[in-house]
């Protein structure tokens, strides 16, 4: 992503927080996996959104109107020994030269310099409650400043959650962000096709997962956006199943919920298909019902619609279909009102998508479902899950779990399905799996 994109975000943030105030945000920190081995580093999404800086041990400070520079970055100084063992890092010179900080100081200087930057400000914006160490430090700095009141030094009198501003910014995707999301979506879609092509009875779920990850990495996307769900048979009825260690059985369905991450932006796709390459009659009926529900939900993604409308459309179609198939009995309207469909469909039809797979942004404003606007990206993912031990339904339905999920952009005149390349009709899936 171009440096100008990050600069635009910082300028908008500083315009929103206003002259006379200050904002702070810290980087992610390394996390220990075991003993002296860390998990692969992944930068905090909010921090990266504003800085593009992909290192730990950093603190970004934004001071609108400050003559010496509005954007200050505290980070690690360049260490030749560290570079030898762990690789290149920016250092103070790189922070200004490559990441456009107006000033850069060693991270060790934070305790000394932050009280000076806070002095005279009215309000401090930072991620309240996100980092216990930062919470404690801010309170200590404010205490230090208040002790200097007789010397004419004033301390900020208000703390405010930075997320209120920042997450509203992140909810609306720019052209640069959408370019990354489209790439993540396309690579992920092709990975799902590879999974369909290589799936067969006798393979293990983790082997299919390996096909996905292999394709993502071959395409240059080295991180998955979230732990992949590869759930054969009744495992698909566990919504967040990630064990992925069972053998695939002929006659079962395989549900895959997996997406790649492109430069911190996620794709999120779910496809469900038959291990044997052909749907059984019962699988076909349930699958088509879920697909019809998804089509109905996607049709509701447009400017002016509310967040809940796609979900309501999916629920209506699913409930009507469940009654027709005999899995529910009664009036569709009353079944929906009483939420009886939740026996087989217990989650919402989507979520915001962006730098985080369950991305930031309010779903309601003043207790009213939010209106969809151009630039928002959401998933649309209805499903049906019939537990294997559900005695109240005909045995032919038991143990079937189906979900179909796409990533959808709200456009000026409707919507764009970013993940359109991932096949989802019965005819398309069966043709791919049979090598047509």
Residues 400 and 416 in one domain: yes
Q: Which of 186, 205, 356, 381 is catalytic?
A: 381
Q: Cα 73 to the chain's mean position, in Å? A: 26
Of these residues, 122, 130, 347, 420, which one is catalytic? Answer: 347
Residues 165 and 264 in one domain: no
Closest to 219 (Cα-Cα) out of 258, 190, 251: 190
Q: How confident is the model at residue 212 (pLDDT cuts 50, 70, 90)?
A: very high
347: annotated active-site residue: yes
pLDDT at residue 166, as a whole number: 98
Q: Are residues 234 and 293 in the same domain?
A: yes
What CATH number should be reported for the domain holding residue 80? 3.40.350.10
Rounded to an integer, what distance in angstroms lies between the CA atom of residue 258 and that of residue 226? 7
Pair (240, 325) in one structural domain: yes
Name the percent of the chain lying above pLDDT 70: 100
One domain, residues 121 and 208: no
Q: Is 413 a catalytic residue?
A: no
Q: How many domains does the chain have?
A: 2
Residue 202 pLDDT exceeds 70:
yes
Same domain, 314 and 413: yes
257 is annotated as an active-site residue: yes
> Does 77 qualify as catalytic in the annotation?
no
Q: Say which of 351, 356, 406, 407 is annotated catalytic.
A: 351
pLDDT band (50, 70, 90) for residue 150: confident
405 is catalytic: yes
* CA max distance for the chain: 82
Phi, psi of 360 (to 5 degrees): -75, 165
Is 268 a known active-site residue?
A: yes
* First-to-last C-alpha distance (Å) of the chain: 39
Residues 375 and 252 in one domain: yes
Here the tokens at position 385 are 């899950």
Indicate whether 33 and 47 sit together in one domain: yes
Same domain, 161 and 176: no
Same domain for 96 and 84? yes
Q: Tell me what the mean pLDDT of segment 333-344 comes to.
A: 98
**Strands, sheet with 59-62, edge to edge from the N-terminal-most edge strand:** 103-106, 71-75, 59-62, 22-26, 123-126, 158-161
Q: 312 and 214 in one domain?
A: yes
Mean pLDDT of 392-397: 96
pLDDT of 109 > 80? The answer is yes
Instruction: For residues 344 and 346, give the distance between their C-alpha atoms in angstroms, rounded to a whole number.
Output: 6
Statement to judge: residues 183 and 83 lie in one domain? no
Nearest 5°: the CA angle 188, 281, 405 is 25
Could you say which of 170, 196, 227 is where a domain stops? Answer: 170
Active-site choice (44, 177, 186, 257):
257
Domain extent, residue 269, equals: 172-435
Which of 9, 76, 403, 415 is the catalytic position?
Answer: 403
Q: Looking at 261, 405, 406, 407, which residue is catalytic?
A: 405
Domain endpoint, select from 170, 196, 218: 170
| Structure confidence at residue 12 (pLDDT) | 98
What pLDDT, in 10s, does the model give residues 50-90?
999 999 999 999 999 999 999 999 999 999 999 999 999 99
> Catalytic: which of 67, 133, 240, 367?
240
Q: Is 358 a catalytic residue?
A: yes
Catalytic residue among 177, 268, 359, 407: 268
pLDDT at 149: 85
What is the model's pLDDT at position 256? Answer: 98
**The CATH number of the domain where 354 resides is what?**
3.90.230.10
Point out the catalytic residue in the list 71, 226, 241, 385.
385
Question: What's the rounded mean pLDDT across residues 193-219?
Answer: 98
Q: What pLDDT is attached to residue 436?
A: 58
In the listed set 170, 201, 218, which residue is the last one of a domain according to the structure? 170
* Residue-level pLDDT at 1: 84
């Amino acid at each position: 992503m171009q440096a100008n994109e990050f600069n635009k975000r910082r300028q908008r943030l500083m315009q929103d927080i206003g002259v006379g105030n200050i904002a702070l945000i810290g980087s992610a920190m390394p996390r220990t996996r075991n003993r002296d081995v860390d998990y692969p580093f992944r930068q905090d999404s909010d921090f990266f959104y504003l800085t593009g800086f992909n290192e730990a041990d950093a603190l970004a400070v934004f001071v609108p109107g400050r003559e010496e520079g509005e954007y200050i970055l505290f980070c690690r100084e360049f260490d030749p020994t560290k570079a030898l063992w762990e690789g290149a890092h920016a250092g103070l010179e790189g922070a200004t030269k490559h990441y456009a900080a107006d000033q850069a100081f060693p991270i060790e200087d934070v305790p000394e310099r932050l009280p000076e930057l806070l002095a005279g400000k009215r309000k401090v914006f930072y991620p309240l409650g996100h980092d216990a160490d930062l919470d404690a430090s801010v309170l200590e700095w404010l205490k230090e400043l208040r002790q200097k009141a007789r010397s004419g030094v004033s301390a900020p009198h208000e703390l405010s959650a930075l997320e209120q501003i920042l997450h509203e910014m992140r909810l609306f995707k720019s052209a640069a962000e959408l370019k990354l999301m489209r790439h993540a979506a396309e690579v992920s879609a092709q990975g799902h096709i590879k999974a369909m092509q290589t799936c067969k009875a006798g393979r293990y779920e983790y082997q299919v997962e390996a096909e996905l990850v292999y394709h993502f990495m071959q395409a240059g996307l080295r991180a998955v956006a979230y732990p992949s769900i590869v759930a054969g048979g009744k495992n698909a009825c566990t919504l967040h199943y990630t064990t992925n260690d069972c053998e695939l059985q002929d006659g079962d369905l395989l549900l895959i919920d997996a997406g790649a991450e492109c430069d911190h932006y996620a794709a999120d796709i779910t496809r469900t298909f038959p291990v044997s390459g052909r749907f059984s009659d019962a699988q076909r009926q349930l699958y088509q019902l879920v697909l019809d529900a998804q089509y109905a939900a996607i049709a509701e993604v447009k400017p002016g619609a509310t967040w809940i409308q796609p979900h309501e459309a999916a629920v209506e179609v699913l409930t009507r279909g469940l009654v027709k198939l005999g899995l529910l009995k009664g009036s569709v309207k009353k079944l929906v009102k009483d939420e009886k469909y939740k026996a087989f469909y217990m989650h919402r039809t989507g979520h915001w998508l962006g730098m985080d797979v369950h991305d930031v942004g309010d779903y309601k404003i003043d207790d009213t479902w939010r209106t969809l606007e151009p630039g928002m990206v959401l998933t649309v993912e209805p499903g049906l899950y019939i537990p294997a031990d559900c005695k109240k339904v005909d045995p032919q339905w038991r143990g079937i779990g189906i979900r179909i999920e796409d990533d959808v952009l709200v456009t000026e005149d409707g919507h764009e399905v970013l993940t359109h390349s991932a096949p989802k009709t019965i005819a398309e899936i069966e043709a791919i799996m049979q090598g047509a």
